Amino acid sequence: MKAQDRDLLDSVRRLHSTLTQRTVLLTRVQSNVDIFAEGLRDLGHDFHDLGGRILTRVTELDADPDHSPRLTPRRARTADRLAELVAERS
């Protein structure tokens, strides 16, 4: 595993480790629309940024001639849809 991949997975772990606390806090501030919206926005940006990094890495792996992905039609459709969603939010 490359250092780049370890760093990416560490980022996933770091985000994962905050989800319970952030979800509890968001649940408690739902009645304050401004704080709730800001918390959701912050969480959404974190997911979006990390998702973009993950998809970028997958694209790099798929482009590597030494890497032969087992891309089924279903996986291809899913990957295309994820890429579209990321592009829509950029």
3-state secondary structure 3-33: HHHHHHHHHHHHHHHHHHHHHHHHHHCCCCH
pTM over 0.85: no
pLDDT in tens, 7-51: 999 999 999 999 999 999 999 999 999 999 999 999 999 999 999
